[in-house]
Amino acid sequence: MEPGSADGSSTAEAVSGSTADWHLTYAVPQLEGLTLMHGSSTISKTLASANDDTTTNTHILYTTGPISAGYRMGEKDMGGTVTDNEIDAMSIAFNVNDNLSVSVATQDTKYDRNATADTTETVDAFSAAYTMGATTVRAHFAESSTDAGVVGNSAEYMEISLVLSF
């Protein structure tokens, strides 16, 4: 039986809704290698007590020769809930040769809290990949501080993979 009901019935309401996404990409013709991107996603919920979520992202990517560098900023408005997010990220990748590539990245996610102090999660990562014929060996290492916006939380992640293409 459902707690609080004599007949075991539930009074819970289902949350459903719809999602609307759009994303624009523009390769700047006056500056070869520069790409600008902007997008948004809105989740509209039908339940009156559920708040809609809106996420927006803006990206700038520049590639020249073997180097690519990118910057991304974004925001997630969780429709009046206690936490919204602001994201700033940047990365750089370098193709050492036809077989080896390396990249580094960092991302800060600010947790905008209404009732308590704001916190910022920082994630730093390093990746490398070596390809020889149909075989690729990849390595990825990342660590975060204030993981998930919780002060004192940290996490480390390591992945080494072998990909065989047939």
pLDDT category at 155 given cuts 50, 70, 90 is very high
Domain count, the chain: 1
**How buried is 119 (Cβ within 10 angstroms: 0-12 exposed, 13-18 middle, 19+ buried)?**
middle
119 domain residue, yes or no: yes
**CB within 8 Å of 62: residues ≥ 6 apart:** 33, 34, 35, 68, 69, 70
CA distance 106 to 92: 10
Q: Is the pLDDT of residue 12 over 70?
A: no
pLDDT category at 6 given cuts 50, 70, 90 is low
10 domain residue, yes or no: no
- 78-99: per-residue pLDDT in tens? 876 667 899 999 999 999 999 9
Backbone angles phi, psi at 27, to 5 degrees: -85, 115
111 domain residue, yes or no: yes
Question: Domain with 141 in it: what CATH number?
Answer: 2.40.160.10
* Boundaries of domain holding 115: 20-164
pTM comes to 0.78
9 domain residue, yes or no: no
Q: What is the mean pLDDT of the chain?
A: 88
1 domain residue, yes or no: no
